Structure 1
C-alpha cells in the first residue's frame, strides 16, 4: 500500500512516507528514482575524483545500507545504472571504497559518518545531487546522529531544497521527524501515511512473559524448545553486546540448538555481514543481536522475535518485533518483562497490545497501575513542595499540568 500511495508522488515532489514495519518502504524511493534516471539521457560519469552523484541515500546502519544497495542492484540489472551504484560505510577499507567510487557513481548509498568523511576528503561532491533520501529518519535523529545529519544538510555544496527532491521514510513518527521534514522538505511536499501512526504490525501476535533477570536464560531455553518456535528462524534481542556472546555460548553448551550467530557493535564489519548472510540463507536458525538490526533490515521468513531484554523506548520495541510478520506474513514476538527494570514500559506495552487487540496479561495492567500511582504521588509531592496546590488528583493527568504528557516518549 505504501508503494502504491507514494511512488508516483515521489516522481514529482518531496515526500515523507510513514508506514508500519515490513511494508517495503525501500521500493518507495528506489523504483521512482531509478525510473527517472533511466528515462533521462545522461552522460556516463567520468573516472575521476571527486565524483558527482545525482542520488544520495543515507541509512542509519551499515547493515541497512548494504540491504538498500542490494535492492538497488536488483532493480537495475541489465541497465546502464547497474555499475554506477556505489556504497560506502564505516568499518570497511576507505581506499577500496574510494577506488570503487572513482570508477563512476550516479547513486551512492551510505552511512552518514563515512559519507561526510568522503565529502570532506573531496572524494564525493554534493553539487549535482538531485535526489536526497533519508531512510529511517527517526533513527537518524537519535543521539549521536542528529548533529552530524544537520551539519551535512547545511553543507554549502548541497543544493537547496528548492533544487533537489527530498524523500524521508520511517516506520514511526516523532516530533523530531516532523521538525526535520518541515525544515528539509519543500512547501509543496507530500505526506503519505499508511496504517495507524506508531502502531505495531497487526500481523504479529505479541506475548509478554513476566521474568526476573536471574531466570531469563532458563526461560529462553524453554521458549526456544516450544513447538511453535523451535522449527523456525528466531531473532533474539538483548541490550548489551556482551550478552550476545554470553547467550550464544550458553545455548550451544546447553545443547538447545546447533549453530548460533551474533551481531553487535564489537564484531568486525565482515563478521557481521557473514553472520547476517548465514542467517538469511538458513545456515543458522538463531540470531542474537543488539538494536543494530532493530530497524529496516528485511530477513525473509523470520518466525519469532524474542526480546530477552526490553528496550527503553516503545518505538524501539515496535521496530524490533517488526523483523517478523513482514510483507503480509504472520509472525510472533515473545518479550520478557522484568518488573525490577521494565516498569516504565508497562503502560506503553499495554497501549500497544490494546491497539492490536492482543491479550493483556493481568500482571502488566497491575504494574501499570502501581507505576502510575507512584508517579502521580511524586508529582503531587513535588507540587506541594514548590508551594502549589492541586485541588483534585484527577487533574494530575489532564492538560493543566505543564510538561506532563503520558505519550511524551511514545
Structure 2
C-alpha cells in the first residue's frame, strides 16, 4: 500500500482521497504500482488547480460574463465534488466559493453600472426631448434645423432604455421634430407667397417708373418717384431670381429722368446765378440810399431800384433770403422814416416823440450788442446784415432826435 498526505492506495488498487468528511474513493488502479496511481491522480489535481487559476485570472482581467463564469465554476465544482483527484480538495472548494463571491460581486457591480448607464441614458434622452420641444417653437429656422439634426445623431449614440420608456421618449422627440418641420414648411410657403406678391407689386412699380422716365414735369414727377421708392421698400423682397432684375429696371428708369432733370437744372442754375449777381448790385445801390437825408428823393430812387429788381428772374433758393433781406432792410428804413415824418408833422405825435426816441435808442443799442455778439461768434455774415440794419435804425434815431428838437423849438 502506498500513501501521501491527501490520499492512499490499498492492496486492492483502490485509490482514496482524504476530505473533511473522511476518505472518499477516487478510483481503482490496476495498470501499475500504487505510486504511479497516486501520481496519476495527483496530476489530475494539479490540472484542476491550473484550471481554477486560469478561471480566476479570466474573471479578474477580462470582461467574461457572470453567466459564463458561473457555468465554468459549476463545471469545475462537479469535477472537484466527483473526487477524481488526490489533493487538498477543500482548498479548491474554498477557492471556487471565493470565485463565486467575486463573480456575484462583479454581477452586482455590472448591474449597478448598467442601472447607472440606463439612468444617465434616460436623463440624456429626456434632455434631448426637452430641447427638441423647445426648438420646435423656434423661428430660427436654419440654426434650429441644424441643431435638431445634431440631436438625432446624439440620440442614435445613446443606449436603448426599456422598450416602453424608449418608445415614449422617441414619440415625443419625433413629434417635436415633426412640429418644427410643419411650422417651417408653413413659414416658407407664406414667405414664397409674400415674395410672389412683392414681385407683382414691383412689376407694377417698374412699369410706372419706366413710363415716367421721359417726363419733363420735374417737380411732380420727382415727388412721384419718391413715393414709388417708398412703395418699393414697403413691398418687401421678391424672389432672388427676380429681385435684382426688377431693381435694375426700376433704378435705370429713375436715372434716365433725374439725368435729364439735372441737365435742365444746370442751365437754370447758371441763369439764376447771373440773376443773383444783378440783384446783389441793386441791393448795394439801394443800401447807398442810407442814411436818409431827403425822404422824397430816397423814396423815388428806391421805387426805381425795386422796379428793376422785379424785372429780374429767380435767384438760387439758398441765396434768396440774404439778398432779399438787404432790400427789405432799406425798405424798412424808408418806411420808418416815413412814419417818423408823419409823427413829426402830426400834432398828436409831439406827445410821443420823446418815447419814440427812447425806443429807437434802445433798438440801436440792442443792434450794437447783437453785432458784437455775432463778431465774437465769428458769424461775419450776420454781423454785416445787422450793421446794415443798424445804419437804418441810426438814421431813424437821428431823424427822431432832429424831430424832437423841432418839437422842442
TM range (shorter): under 0.3
Normalising by structure 2, what TM-score?
0.16
- Higher share of residues assigned helix: 2
| Larger RCO (CA under 8 A, 6+ residues apart) | 1
Normalising by structure 1, what TM-score?
0.16
- The structure with more radius of gyration: 2
- Higher share of residues assigned strand: 1
